[in-house]
């Protein structure tokens, strides 16, 4: 059992759906062998985690972390266009 299913569910979420969306969701609930609440909560949590993943955490497996560290250890390149952009006065300064 995951943590979401062991906690008391005491908050209501209401959504409106088209008949087609509801039929699709009901078919998926049956296929997954769960109930509507469990299905919706599980998939809403997954969607929320995906949306927030790169905004809150940055996880890499050891191999990807090594590659990331090698990239970050390289000296910065001088890019002519970027240098020109950074040398321009900011339009937001008074």
Which pLDDT tens digit goes with each residue over 14-44?
999 999 999 999 999 999 999 999 999 999 9
Answer whether residue 7 is part of any domain: yes
Q: Which two tokens stand for residue 48?
A: 């929320």
**Domain count of the chain?**
1
Answer whether residue 9 is part of any domain: yes
Answer whether residue 59 is part of any domain: yes
Q: What is the model's pLDDT at position 57?
A: 78
Averaged pLDDT for residues 59-80 = 93
3-class DSSP assignment, residue 1: coil
3-class DSSP assignment, residue 69: helix
Question: How far is Cα 8 from Cα 5, in angstroms, rounded to an integer?
Answer: 8
Domain of residue 42, residue span: 3-87
Answer whether residue 14 is part of any domain: yes
Question: How far is Cα 63 from Cα 2, in angstroms, rounded to an integer?
Answer: 28
Answer whether residue 92 is part of any domain: no
3-class DSSP assignment, residue 43: helix
Q: What is the model's pLDDT at position 28?
A: 97
Answer whether residue 25 is part of any domain: yes
Answer whether residue 17 is part of any domain: yes
Question: How far is Cα 40 from Cα 22, in angstroms, rounded to an integer?
Answer: 12
Using pLDDT thresholds of 50, 70 and 90, give the confidence band for residue 55: confident
Answer whether residue 32 is part of any domain: yes
């Amino acid at each position: 059992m995951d943590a979401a299913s062991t906690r008391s569910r005491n908050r209501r979420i209401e959504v409106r759906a088209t008949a087609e969306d509801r039929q699709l969701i009901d078919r998926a609930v049956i296929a997954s062998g769960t109930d509507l609440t469990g299905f919706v909560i599980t998939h809403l949590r997954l969607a929320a985690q995906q949306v927030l993943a790169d905004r809150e955490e940055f996880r890499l497996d050891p191999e990807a972390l090594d590659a990331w560290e090698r990239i970050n250890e390289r000296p910065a390149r001088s890019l002519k266009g970027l240098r020109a952009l950074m040398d321009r006065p900011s339009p937001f300064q008074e």
